Amino acid sequence: MTPPSEAELGRYNVRPLTPGPESALREAALALGSGTTALPALARHGRAEALAVAGLAADECRVITRELRRLGGEVLSSADGDRALLLGPLSALGELPARLTEWGRRTEVLGAALHAALAGRGSRPAPVAAGRHVLEFHRRTLVMGVVNATPDSFSGDGTGDDPAAAVALGAALAEAGADIVDVGGESTRPNSAPVAAEVELARVLPVVRELAARLDVPVSIDTRKAAVARAALDAGAVIVNDIWGLRRDPEMAAAVAEAGAALVVMHNAAKPEYGDVVEEVCAVLRESLALAEAAGIERERIVVDPGLGFAKTPAHNLELVRRLGELRGLDRPVLVGPSRKSTIGALLGGAPPDRRLEGTLALCVLAAANGADLVRVHDVAEVSLCLRVADAVLRGTPEEILALPRPGPTG
């Protein structure tokens, strides 16, 4: 079989619903329109594995229903068969893709999409190369530190037009434990005014150039403009962090591809209207993956970001963190940026950005527990220490802790 394209895989937008909040699985079943008649099937099968699938043709829905039932699973589908929940033991869902190859190219692609979602849900992503650096995700949650080389950062930590201050901040973040230093020269806070590329370049280029020469960690450029990305990559950046996921500047994908850089594609929306916010975020991120593939960017270099705080209400942001595991169906590393966001302020009675550390720590730990591989934060030292403890629970006890003796007698 010719490997399916990102566009072909993206048609089905497969999302793993387990493990995850039980409410998300129940609501996905009820949203198919079959009412409470779906609940007995959830009771029998939903505790094992569940995959949400969209974009099905009626004959494809009939095929997967027949084949999964033969394997001991169950399919709940919408009235017209375009959406479905696949329920059953992992062994059944794991065998299903091979069964689908017998029915033609379309079901073969569907099988590949199911396989990719299961693979992403079941293991940590492979390392991502970023210039001479390699980002590895199996041992711990990585931390991206934020350098706002702007005078109008929402978080109050902008360094304005002082490159030396921005360089000092970036160096301090790396010393505090940042695995990546992300430099931006245009504020993306709500209702912020856009700046010209020339202004953005004047802010970021001296900073990127100096940090890339000094640091032992990769430098990322946070920009939505291809011209800024190109210049920053020439100055030593090795990652492009695009808040529009290649969907705003038509030259951005080519700029990344030509440089062989790593890439973060974030979800954003000009006119957000969500039904299921997680489903739609996943669908748009798949569009970004397809754009990257068309430009020649290997998917092994791409990280996805659901875009907390971008075109989303506080309720949307919390839902995304709660159901973050569904993004693992994209089979790419997941970056989450909860740092000092207004959602935290709303939850804490209007706390300003400089009083949102505890909320940031909570969301970072919850994101790591629900599937994040990286977090993007301002308070690197505090978050790094917090995640060191959380990862010891989430990813396995460190060797040095296993070697510690038991405490002495008490009482």
Tally the residues of the chain. Answer: 411
- C-alpha count within 13 angstroms, C-beta hemisphere, residue 91: 3
Identify the H or E element spanning 86.
Answer: strand 84-88
Between the CA of residue 198 and those of 156, 203, 235, 360, what are the distances in Å? 23, 9, 15, 33
CA distance 38 to 29: 6
Asked whether the beta carbons of 346 and 338 are under 8 A apart, the reply is no
SS3 408: coil
Active-site hit among 140, 247, 356, 376: 376
Q: Kindly write down the DSSP assignment for every residue of 308-320, as one continuous string.
A: TTSS--HHHHHHH
Catalytic residue among 15, 323, 328, 341: 341
Cα 348 from Cα 327, distance rounded (Å): 27
Whether residue 376 lies in the annotated active site = yes
Which strands, in side-by-side order, build the sheet including 180-184? 302-305, 262-266, 239-242, 219-222, 180-184, 142-148, 374-377, 335-336
Least Cα distance to 180 among 25, 35, 377 occurs for: 377
CA-to-CA distance for 265 and 213, rounded, in angstroms? 25
Give the integer Cα–Cα distance in Å for 27 and 14. 16
DSSP annotation of 68: H
Q: Are strands 180-184 and 219-222 parallel, antiparallel or unpaired?
A: parallel
Q: What is the DSSP letter of 218?
A: -
Catalytic residue at 99? no
Burial of 189 (0-12, 13-18, 19+ CB in 10 A): middle
Query: What phi and psi, each to the nearest 5 degrees, are found at residue 16?
Result: -75, 125
Output the six-digit token pair for 250. 């038509």
**End-to-end CA, the chain:** 68
- Does residue 363 contact residue 338 with C-beta atoms inside 8 Å? yes
Residue ranges with strand state E in 232-347 = 239-242, 262-266, 302-305, 335-336
Residues with catalytic function: 341, 376
